[in-house]
Amino acid sequence: MTSDAPIGVFDSGVGGISVIRQLRHDMPSERFLFFGDSANAPYGEKTPERVCELSFAIVERLRERGVKAVVIACNTATSAAAKQLREHYDMPIIGMEPALKVACDRGHGTPQRVIVAATPLTLHEHKFAALVDRFKAEHTIHAQPCPDLVTLLEHGRLGNHEAVMATLHGYFDRYDLDDIDSVVLGCTHFIFFRDYFRELLPDRIAIVDGNPGTSHHLREVLAERDALAHADVTGGVELSNSDTSMRMTTLARSLLDR
């Protein structure tokens, strides 16, 4: 591992660009190679075995580019494949999980009422069940699958206010939001909808995501290995996608530049 090697980042589609934005902000000297698998999106409705297969193919692609670490910028792929990837590769594999701990810790000892919004596969995997088990004795946790948000972003409909708000109301009108303390955005696609969530939710409800924690963890891992890029180096982002259409290229660039 050398400090000037790039960092690989991948997602089931373009949602992981929200992670790239955080990483680029926190580590401007690093070079990032992002791969979105939009041709196979959404991962959240596939079997764990298929998601694992797709993840291995992507990480092998990134390994061939000489990356020094890989960030799985996808909660679903982390749930399905992170353990197996770490067993197979000797480079750091940084995964993600819904930031439930952050949401529960906000109460400073007071029980919290939390909605975790994520993909169906993330919410049904053992990894999420184990995470909930750590907190459910003291906190009230609602798991809310929101697969249509992934589809809206992948189809370039982020700016369609009517469609997005109708989708959110379809998922969240079942809750008494006056009885909720926070909503966890447990899919990297959902972070691009933060302003819509803010419009939907009462001001007192916090909106939490795992991107800052993932970035912090990556920086710590690289620092331990003396593999951080030198501060005087100019970093950058290279975007690629299994959907090679001009529409997807334009969408990915627009999300990076938001």
Any idea which residues carry the catalytic annotation? 74, 187
Rounded Cα–Cα distance for residues 108 and 130 (Å): 22
Rounded Cα–Cα distance for residues 115 and 123 (Å): 12
The two three-digit tokens of residue 203, written as one number: 């001001």
Q: Which residues touch 201 (CB under 8 Å, ≥6 apart)?
A: 172, 177, 180, 183, 207
In the three-class reduction of DSSP (H, G, I as helix; E, B as strand; rest coil), residue 144 is classed as strand
DSSP-derived secondary structure for 32-79: EEEEE-GGG--GGGS-HHHHHHHHHHHHHHHHHTT-SEEEE--HHHHH
Rounded Cα–Cα distance for residues 15 and 189 (Å): 4
Query: φ, ψ for residue 208 (rounded to 5)?
Result: -120, 140
The two three-digit tokens of residue 115, written as one number: 């909605």
Q: Which residues pair with 238 in a beta bridge?
A: 33
List strand residue ranges (DSSP E) for the chain, in order.
7-11, 31-36, 69-72, 93-94, 113-118, 140-145, 182-185, 206-209, 236-241
